[in-house]
Amino acid sequence: MRAPNDGSEPIGQLSPQAWMQAAETQAVIKALTADGAEVRFVGGCVRDSVLKRAIKDIDIATHDPPDRVMALLERAHIRVIPTGLAHGTVTAVVGKAHYEITTLREDVETFGRHARVSFTDDWTADAARRDFTMNAMFADPQGRIYDPFGGLADLGAGHVRFVGDPFRRIEEDLLRLLRFFRFFAHYGRTSLESQAMAACRKLAPRLVELSGERVAGELIRLLQAPDPALVLMVMKTNGILAHVLPEAVEIGRLKVLTWLESRAMVRDTIHPDPLRRLAAMLSTDAAGVAVLGERLKLSAAQTGRILSIVCPQVDVRMDMDRRAARRALRRVGADTFRDLVLVAWAEHRSRSGLLDSRESRMWQDLLDQADHWQPVELPVRGADCLDLGVPRGPAIGQSLAQVEAWWEEADYAPDRAACLDRLRRIIKEGGA
């Protein structure tokens, strides 16, 4: 594998970065370089700094072995966690800031996701192990960029390109197949590379070998992209999505939902939501949602959220009146009601293909009601039934259910006194 340059000379310069100048970062760098070692920032923090995007994680590479790294940090009184010593990784903790520090490595032998590595002082050899060229860039503490595989140009062009042969890189770790599409959703602006697509199509049947947690993590990150529908459609038409998410049928509905969440409206209560987006794509039933949750190892709360959207307890329609909307809000709550409105709106718009201002106002009125909804509770309780002589048992629930139906029909207007009076009449008439 021939690198465009040997990576020994910087080819660019980052503008001043607050995260690099932070006292916590400076403390870690000072500790690691105290005896003259060279360190560089690597991966996502460099990539996103070039694009002026928010930095999530700060990764640092060094040619010092992990035991030496730990000694340097401890000498500087910096807390250190041996997170992955076998792979040369430790984590430095300064206050609330975490820094993952990894010794430069090169592959000795690869077998699937796992590899036998040796430590090295060769920056280009370490970069050659990384997945995409845009993730194989380094920056030294002065912000000078080192780029042995042309990642800076690829990043500028929106070109997601594997370091080396795509087929081989995916075989090393099948998750890279999904990462390819996830990174394109977040960074891509050109067409997807043909050689990489061929490798993805060929290796897609092996995606079932991945754990559900790893697949779910990639899908959720992909769904956080500004416009995930385009990439998901490519995955679907190329027979890739079927191996990880066969229930994803409604990509058109997802596309409209994404537009509604991110561009059609400005509301404090609406933000891009990967679980809502996931649910919007699905065509399945309650049993299918359960199977999906188990396959992707989703939490009970995540599975329940998806179920509440795919199999709603209430029928949300554009033309529902305010009383019906309030009943639905009381039954499912404002958050779920908002989910249902957005997905129903996306469904309607994806089918009609038209932008109707009158219809938009109707949908937005439902969202307004969700935003201003104040939960209401039935003013009478089981204790009131006992005080009125109803024996313990099912008769209490039956009496309260009749009061609640009457109270709901009156649009929750009757107060406690009126509800108590209604309860007395129901008990007197033998309704219990």
Does residue 20 sit in the same domain as residue 135? yes
Calpha distance 182→175 (Å, rounded): 11
Q: What is the CATH number of the domain that holds 120?
A: 3.30.460.10
Does residue 21 sit in the same domain as residue 63? yes
Does residue 169 sit in the same domain as residue 157? no
The reply to whether 240 falls in a domain is: no
CA geometry: angle at 221 spanning 217 and 223, to 5°?
120
| 206-254 pLDDT per residue, tens | 999 999 999 999 999 999 999 999 999 999 999 999 999 999 999 999 9
Does residue 329 sit in the same domain as residue 404? no
Q: Which two tokens stand for residue 176?
A: 């890279």
The reply to whether 41 falls in a domain is: yes
Does residue 269 sit in the same domain as residue 214? no
The reply to whether 285 falls in a domain is: yes
Cross-strand pairs, 244: none
Q: How many CA atoms lie within 13 A of 344 on its CB side?
A: 24
pTM of the prediction?
0.89
Residue-averaged pLDDT of the chain: 93
Own/partner pairs for 63-71, CB < 8 Å, 24+ apart?
Answer: 63/37, 63/38, 63/103, 63/104, 63/119, 63/120, 63/121, 64/32, 64/37, 64/103, 65/103, 65/119, 66/90, 66/103, 68/37, 69/32, 69/101, 69/103
Specify the number of domains making up the chain.
Answer: 4
Pair type for strands 97-103 and 58-62: parallel
Does residue 175 sit in the same domain as residue 48? no
Does residue 306 sit in the same domain as residue 398? no
Residue 2 above 50 pLDDT? no
Residue 374, sorted as left (phi over 0), alpha (psi -120 to 50) or beta, turns out to be: beta
Cross-strand pairs, 60: 41, 101
The reply to whether 85 falls in a domain is: yes
Quick one: pLDDT at residue 356? 81
Calpha distance 86→73 (Å, rounded): 18
- Compute φ and ψ for 111, nearest 5 degrees: -150, 95
Residue 68: strand, helix, or coil: helix
Tell me what the mean pLDDT of segment 106-133 comes to: 79
Does residue 140 sit in the same domain as residue 265? no
Distances (CA, A) of 372 to 153, 261, 356, 375: 49, 19, 24, 10
The reply to whether 231 falls in a domain is: no
Does residue 31 sit in the same domain as residue 155? yes
Residues with Cβ within 8 Å of residue 210, at least 6 apart in sequence: 174, 175, 178, 244
Distances (CA, A) of 4 to 41, 152, 210, 270: 20, 12, 33, 45
Residues with Cβ within 8 Å of residue 157, at least 6 apart in sequence: 189, 190
Q: Which two tokens stand for residue 77?
A: 């009184």
The reply to whether 237 falls in a domain is: no
Range of the domain at 141: 12-163
Calpha distance 340→344 (Å, rounded): 6
| 15-56 pLDDT per residue, tens | 999 999 999 999 999 999 999 999 999 999 999 999 999 999
Does residue 180 sit in the same domain as residue 150? no
The reply to whether 415 falls in a domain is: yes
Residue 1 above 70 pLDDT? no
pLDDT range class, residue 5, cuts 50, 70, 90: low
Does residue 400 sit in the same domain as residue 354? no
The reply to whether 334 falls in a domain is: yes
- Of 114, 137, 163, which residue constitutes the final position of a domain? 163
Does residue 156 sit in the same domain as residue 24? yes
Judge whether 197 and 160 are in contact, CB under 8 Å.
no
